[in-house]
Structure 1
Amino acid sequence: MITTVRKAIGACFSVLVLSSRTLAERCERSCLEGLISDYLNALVDHDPSSLPTTPDVKYVENEQILPLGTGEWHIVESLGKYNHTFSDPEAGQVATITTITENGVGAIYIVRLKVEKDGRISEIESQITRDSDGAELYEQRGQPEAVWFEAVPPEERIPRDKLISQTNKYYTGMQGNDPNGDYSFFDKDCNRLEDGLQTTNVKSGDPYGHSNDTAFASLTCEEQFQTGFLGFVTRIRERHFPVIDEERQAVFAITTLDHNGTVKSLPSVNGTSSPIPRYFETPRSLRAMEAFRLRGEKLYRIEMTLTEVPYNMRAAFPDVPPVDLSGPGTNFTTYPIPCDQVCLENVIGDVLMSIRVHDHTRLPLAKGIRYSENGQFVALGDGLWETLEAISWTDKYGAVLSDSKNGTAGYWGFSTEHSIPGVLSLRIKVDNGQITEIEAHVVRGESTDSRGGTVTLMRPPFPIEWEGNTTSFLNPIFQAYSANGEILPELLNAYFDGLEKHSSKGVPFAEGCTRRDNFGQGNLTCADQLDGKGSAPNGLSNTTTTVRDRRVLVADSKRGVALAVALVDEPANGPGPLSPAGRVPGTYMIPQLIKVDNGLISHIESVIKWVPFGYTSAWGEEDGKENK
């Protein structure tokens, strides 16, 4: 009864507030701060209905577009005491950096709202940085430094465009980090926080980030940039400056930091150069939301928060139209027309060798060729084309597939990028003698060490982790031809339905079918795993829900093997077997090999990559456009 009354009062209050904001024609600071406070309270109440939103409000969580009320709305428990809000009445924008608890675990929560002239919220952009240590540091601070809240006299302020251009110098200077660059845009007393930790002018002797360097954090902002130490940030894109707080001379910015994995060593800071941390040996993208306080025309305070997203992932609110990453093609001799089984298997060898020698121009590529990694379109020559050093072949752990009817070829096997092991799957499309599509999925080993290892930042733990140290081999059944290996779409769909329903009912499993996730199998059959029998760990918990974007990449009926990929949602809405840190919304991207014998599934081999909740593949989006 109390909850019902509270919701009714909240709804009435929202109508009254909305009415007053409409009359005022502009939401000033107190109005914006009140709205974001209402938003945070609604989040904790798990009830967005009290918020004044437009009918087409766009809700984004960790760069995924979701229905408002899903994802984080189901699991947040309470708000922390740290709160840092930025208001821009002219643009109708407001943002805050705050702390929350999820399942008793602290996290950093950042949200931006866009408010229309009628007082309704039209955009909600949020980021959850699941760094419990950082959240605790914020809680220990209690509140931001007082200087952030000081109003600057009008005659001492610089205008909006200058605030943006000065802030943008920070990103331009960090990208590639030329040690000889001009970094005079930093105030001599500049300080920076990263997830609540001060990382400038601190002489603690603690290593910085993933590195072993103990001197970097003792330097000033300007001195740090003058070392060139941050050159492992190879690109900073989609730079967005949505909240300009002119009164307080503050900027709230959102960007994506790319690390393409080509930088091999860090410059000398404490006397000697050092190898790049293993974390940066493979392509990574980090989405950053951060604030800047200027003093005069110089950056005086910086407060950064970040979370990892798949490499080259587009932002949900991009500043510019998406870049066309289709390739220009080549003039090389084409493959035979039609391209039969032997031809397609040769294509696989050619593509793998070209990636290995980092040269895509040696391939017969069609004009407009599309290339992707883990569901994101990437420019040819980027990503794996710069980092892959070795693959396994069929005599160790590998499979080559072909489907001459559809002109597709596939590969599955071990990969090595610098020192990082992985499992690589490829789909290649050949049409009219040229390669038109290349789709790669690579799941890297997630190992830990004293400096963080290679673990994806901010992701929850898996029931079965693969650290890349397996000596497992591919079951010989994958390399043998089947007497009857016809792969019917309904057979594979029945398996995905069973995975979604956690039930083997109606799934055509062979007796004794084996299934491995991240090389963990135990002694359960495929049916027992789906039915949740026994105590052996499975790669997925029984709390996953939708299995979507189901795609059969290559169906090799002669071998009776299909290469497929699917996205499996873990909304973490309720209790389950996962640890508190694991019970957070996420999506699993699962490339897999499926063996079929006489119409029955006899073996499944899959690896799992964690991606943000609600993640979608760019190929799925392309298919959706074509079908409209």
Structure 2
Amino acid sequence: MLVLGSVQASAKRLDRDGLGGLITNYLKALVARDPSSLPVTEDVKYVENDQILPLGTGEWHIAESLGKYNHIFSDPEARQVAAITTITENGIGAIYLVRLKVYEVGKISEIETQITRDPGGVALYEELGRPEPEWFETVPETERIPREKLISQTNKYYTGMQGNDPNGDYTFFDKDCNRLEDGLQTTNVKTGDPYGHSNGTTFASLTCEEQFQTGFLGCVTKIRERHFPVADEERQAVFAITTLDHNGTVRSLPSVNGTLSPIPLYFETPRALIAMEAFRLRGEKLYRIEMTLTEAPYGMRAGFPEDPAVDLSGPGTELTLPSPCDRACLEKAVEGGLQALKSHDPSTLALAEDARYSENGHRHGRIFADAERGSAGYWGLTKEHAIPGVLALRIKVEDGKITKIEANIVRAEFTDSRRGTVTLMRPPLPVEWNGNSTGQLDPAFQANNTGAKISAALLNAYFDGLEKHSSKRVPFAAGCTRRDNFVQANLTCAAQLGGKGTAPNGLTGSTTTVRDRRILVADSDKAVMAVALVDEPADGPGPLSAAARIPGTYLIPQLIKTNNGTISRVESMIKWMPYGYTSAWAEVDLKSKRM
């Protein structure tokens, strides 16, 4: 735990200059990679892209220098300050946002950051050099609205965007309103450039109000975790933090001319976008908007949640399964779960009242059953609308009811004329998958296992090998092969784990901890379905690959085949998550002390 460093805390309330100096010192400490110089409380909470991390990790290992652009927002009354700025990390530019909350004795008690890795946006910000002067004007007291009104007017922006209704009342926009998105002006632009994932060239030419009146933003199905930490009455500015959900159910969007156009592929699967943005009001209307976005796993809560915790339990159903549930029963439960997913109807399942579901068509795969654990699973190809994916599904049955459903899905990412499905601002993966090279499930998984029962010790030895980049203590069969995102290196499993640098095992040689290791289903006749999280801190020695330059955590569902007590086949998928990501199931298991 960090304690007060060389910058002394002040017992008096910080004014605008004091808050600005504090956040400036924070940014200097960041690029110096020295958090010990900050005045922080003993229980300071540090959040990076919605992940709770120890202060001094993540971005603190890779930040190198500050850019020219620096936009600070201060709220002395709330003792909060925020900044939109640019930095360089491992040689690459990024948009960096930070919010600090100051405890009443002058120490920092909350640090919330967002890193938007958009080199194009960084270049635009650096070209701007500084914010428009309107942001810094002191508004005469007679023309100001109070902080509560500042916040309520700003919130109308989110309420209007959520399920964007073309018939809504959007008179809260000033007639001269302009919006920046990652440094790019996206309103009142007459150049004919397309907007976002759209091919339409008219939308960006419209005013803020006209854009909302089209209904084109209706793919935003919910805006949650809304909080407004900075409300600057003197400058009539608000700094807001929210999460924008796109649940994948919207199939078309209205065009400016009133016709409907297919939704871009990016929004055909569930997405969550973290948004940190600033608003400048003129009178009671939104005059300037400066927004940034980055992606988070769909449904994930914010690091500083404002909404009540989501109840993941369902209403339950009157349906039941046999108890105990044998192999045939478990396989039937999985078949029912897959059908319910396809028909979008959970009422057909024998759900317990407190059943929990987590999620990170056409299908082709294999069902696995584990009567000892009361669990069954499915590993195979899926198609959500037009997006191919691989689904590792687990269903747990207790006392005749389904109590847990866990869906780990890795979706193909590719580009097209509307920017395709590529996840917003994530780095390249060690092994990319565009959905074309799927093939079939390895025929080896169709055959039964032979020899000793699959053990947790064997699986841990394998994950230890991934962590240490060594096959020394991993019981691989001589001809074991492994595929990562459907790519198989011309090496044995043992050889794939060896060496540093960019290892040919589907993970870079600079990955470190392999944590949250869990057996989903251990089918003694067929294979093991497992999942783990692998950390990539991006602070390794020497030149780093493109995949290793940005801190991240890889979610890796694994299908593992054993024969005579050795690992003979591995099917692995790789999905990028924000650094420090922890699954909901790991949190549940830590509390309940059980799988």
| TM-score normalised by length of structure 2 | 0.97
Match of 2:204 among 203, 217, 234: 217
Post-superposition Cα deviations, 1:164-197, rounded to whole Å, max 9, x if no partner, equal 1000000000000000000000000000000000
CA distance in 2, matches of 1:451, 1:540: 29
- Within a 5 Å distance, the mapping from 1:557-568 to structure 2 comes to 557-559=524-526, 561-568=527-534
**Equivalence for 1:344:** 330
**Equivalence for 2:581:** 615
Post-superposition Cα deviations, 1:199-235, rounded to whole Å, max 9, x if no partner, equal 0000111110011111000000000000000000000
**Aligned partners of 1:485 and 1:558 also within 8 Å:** no
Q: Alignment identity in percent?
A: 72
Report the alpha carbon displacement of residue 575 of structure 1 after superposing the two structures with TM: 3.9
Post-superposition Cα deviations, 1:451-506, rounded to whole Å, max 9, x if no partner, equal 32111111110121011111421112211112325111100000000100000011
- Within a 5 Å distance, the mapping from 1:315-464 to structure 2 comes to 315-332=302-319, 334-374=320-360, 389-392=361-364, 398-464=365-431
CA distance in 2, matches of 1:35, 1:533: 40
CA distance in 2, matches of 1:324, 1:535: 42
Match of 1:78 among 39, 55, 65: 65
**Aligned partners of 2:497 and 2:503 also within 8 Å:** no
SS of residue matched to 2:407: strand
Post-superposition Cα deviations, 1:103-128, rounded to whole Å, max 9, x if no partner, equal 22111000000001111000000000
| TM-score normalised by length of structure 1 | 0.92
**Equivalence for 2:154:** 167
**Equivalence for 1:381:** none
**Equivalence for 1:480:** 447
**Equivalence for 2:468:** 501
**Aligned partners of 1:401 and 1:411 also within 8 Å:** yes
TM-align CA RMSD: 1.5
Post-superposition Cα deviations, 1:524-574, rounded to whole Å, max 9, x if no partner, equal 111101113999843101000000000000000122x10000000000103
**Equivalence for 2:436:** 469
SS of residue matched to 2:149: helix
**Equivalence for 2:514:** 547
**Aligned partners of 1:213 and 1:270 also within 8 Å:** no
**Equivalence for 1:205:** 192
**Aligned partners of 2:226 and 2:307 also within 8 Å:** no
Greater alpha carbon shift after TM alignment, 581-590 vs 204-213:
581-590
**Which AA in structure 1 matches 2:571?**
E
Q: 1:547 to 1:96 in 2, by over 3 A?
A: same
Match of 1:570 among 533, 536, 551: 536
Report the alpha carbon displacement of residue 431 of structure 1 after superposing the two structures with TM: 1.1
CA distance in 2, matches of 1:119, 1:463: 44
Greater alpha carbon shift after TM alignment, 195-204 vs 531-540:
531-540
CA distance in 2, matches of 1:268, 1:51: 50
**Equivalence for 2:267:** 280
**Equivalence for 1:243:** 230
**Which AA in structure 1 matches 2:336?**
D
**Aligned partners of 2:220 and 2:245 also within 8 Å:** yes
Report the alpha carbon displacement of residue 577 of structure 1 after superposing the two structures with TM: 6.2
Match of 2:563 among 588, 593, 597: 597
Report the alpha carbon displacement of residue 594 of structure 1 after superposing the two structures with TM: 0.6
Match of 2:74 among 83, 87, 92: 87
**Which AA in structure 2 matches 1:69?**
G
**Which AA in structure 2 matches 1:237?**
R
Question: For structure 1, which runs of at least 5 residues remain unmatched after alignment?
Answer: 1-9, 375-388, 393-397
**Aligned partners of 1:443 and 1:607 also within 8 Å:** yes
Report the alpha carbon displacement of residue 143 of structure 1 after superposing the two structures with TM: 0.3
Post-superposition Cα deviations, 1:404-445, rounded to whole Å, max 9, x if no partner, equal 111100100000001000000100001111111100011000
CA distance in 2, matches of 1:435, 1:577: 49
Q: Which runs of 4+ in 1 moved over 4 A?
A: 533-536
SS of residue matched to 1:459: coil
SS of residue matched to 2:464: helix
CA distance in 1, matches of 2:278, 2:560: 48
2:165 aligned with 1:178, yes or no? yes
- Within a 5 Å distance, the mapping from 1:109-188 to structure 2 comes to 109-188=96-175
Report the alpha carbon displacement of residue 446 of structure 1 after superposing the two structures with TM: 0.8
Report the alpha carbon displacement of residue 39 of structure 1 after superposing the two structures with TM: 0.2
Question: For structure 2, which runs of at least 5 residues remain unmatched after alignment?
Answer: none
SS of residue matched to 2:497: helix
Q: 1:368 to 1:460 in 2, by over 3 A?
A: same
SS of residue matched to 1:574: coil
2:205 aligned with 1:196, yes or no? no
Q: 1:50 to 1:502 in 2, by over 3 A?
A: same
**Which AA in structure 2 matches 1:365?**
L
**Which AA in structure 1 matches 2:400?**
G
**Aligned partners of 1:541 and 1:577 also within 8 Å:** no
SS of residue matched to 1:229: coil
**Which AA in structure 2 matches 1:328?**
P
CA distance in 2, matches of 1:68, 1:251: 26
Report the alpha carbon displacement of residue 274 of structure 1 after superposing the two structures with TM: 1.6
- Within a 5 Å distance, the mapping from 1:530-545 to structure 2 comes to 530-532=497-499, 537-545=504-512
**Which AA in structure 1 matches 2:164?**
N
Report the alpha carbon displacement of residue 328 of structure 1 after superposing the two structures with TM: 1.3
**Which AA in structure 2 matches 1:338?**
P
**Which AA in structure 1 matches 2:217?**
L
Report the alpha carbon displacement of residue 391 of structure 1 after superposing the two structures with TM: 1.3
SS of residue matched to 1:588: strand
**Equivalence for 2:216:** 229
SS of residue matched to 2:330: helix
**Aligned partners of 1:523 and 1:536 also within 8 Å:** no
**Which AA in structure 2 matches 1:605?**
E
Post-superposition Cα deviations, 1:22-76, rounded to whole Å, max 9, x if no partner, equal 1x2x111000000000000000100010100001110110000111111101111
CA distance in 2, matches of 1:140, 1:32: 26
Greater alpha carbon shift after TM alignment, 337-346 vs 419-428:
337-346
**Which AA in structure 1 matches 2:352?**
A
Post-superposition Cα deviations, 1:299-341, rounded to whole Å, max 9, x if no partner, equal 0000000100000110010113312121110012x11221111
**Equivalence for 1:256:** 243
**Equivalence for 1:4:** none
2:45 aligned with 1:58, yes or no? yes
SS of residue matched to 2:217: helix
**Aligned partners of 1:463 and 1:578 also within 8 Å:** no
CA distance in 2, matches of 1:535, 1:182: 54
Q: 1:78 to 1:580 in 2, by over 3 A?
A: farther
Report the alpha carbon displacement of residue 578 of structure 1 after superposing the two structures with TM: 4.2
**Aligned partners of 1:463 and 1:541 also within 8 Å:** yes
2:549 aligned with 1:583, yes or no? yes
**Which AA in structure 1 matches 2:125?**
Y
CA distance in 2, matches of 1:361, 1:414: 24
CA distance in 2, matches of 1:245, 1:624: 41
Q: How many residue pairs were aligned? A: 591
CA distance in 2, matches of 1:208, 1:568: 35
Greater alpha carbon shift after TM alignment, 237-246 vs 481-490:
481-490
Q: 1:263 to 1:515 in 2, by over 3 A?
A: same
Post-superposition Cα deviations, 1:576-618, rounded to whole Å, max 9, x if no partner, equal 5643574110000000101111110001101011000000001
